[in-house]
Structure 1
Amino acid sequence: MARTSTKAAMDAKEVMRRNAELEKAAAEAAAREERLRRELEAALARLAVAEEAEERLCVQLGELEAEAVMQAVEYQQQVRELSERLAFVDGILRSSSSGRRGAIAAGMD
């Protein structure tokens, strides 16, 4: 009987040791889970900030694109106006040049 009680005591001691190991492992797992949860929350917060920044950048980019289109239209209009003025002045110069050539030719006769 002493042998049985010694064996039972050793088994009980082994069960208690194993139980302590499992409790320790469970506590470590819970701590790791809590740490990972906090890291996940921080990552989600950073993601929200990044998404907000992306939205602001998209809005700014859209505004810059609209401004660039307006500037391009204005520039094209200026180029057209200058081309028209240049063509007008060129026409005047050609007509006055032809008139002078005609007058010179008439005077040479």
Structure 2
Amino acid sequence: MPVYEYRCEQCTHQFEATQSVHARPEDTVCPQCNKVGATRMLSAFASKVKGSHKPGFEEIRAYDMLNERMDRFSKLPPAMGKRVDVTPDMMSGAGAAAPPEGTDA
């Protein structure tokens, strides 16, 4: 059950009360003057995350797995032929190879 902070309307005494979430603030009795009619005040609260899930945990784990797979992939031998370093000319299409001689192109 949550702890709420109250201020009495009659004597302005501030106090805390452990109540159900469904309890009405108007029915809360002041411990100092024993009168009904307290006002619930806004206050800070603390929360605790239980378990292994923390914000961002799944995303961090996914990126770690991706990086690990990419490292393994870079160490594999090429599927066919020799591995060639890609140059900027290859990417722009300027270094396109001419068709072999003796063929109609």
Greater helix proportion: 1
Q: Rg bigger for which structure?
A: 1
Task: Choose between structure 1 and 2 for higher RCO, CA contacts under 8 A separated by at least 6 residues.
Answer: 2
Report the TM-score when normalising by structure 1: 0.30
Greater strand proportion: 2
Report the TM-score when normalising by structure 2: 0.31
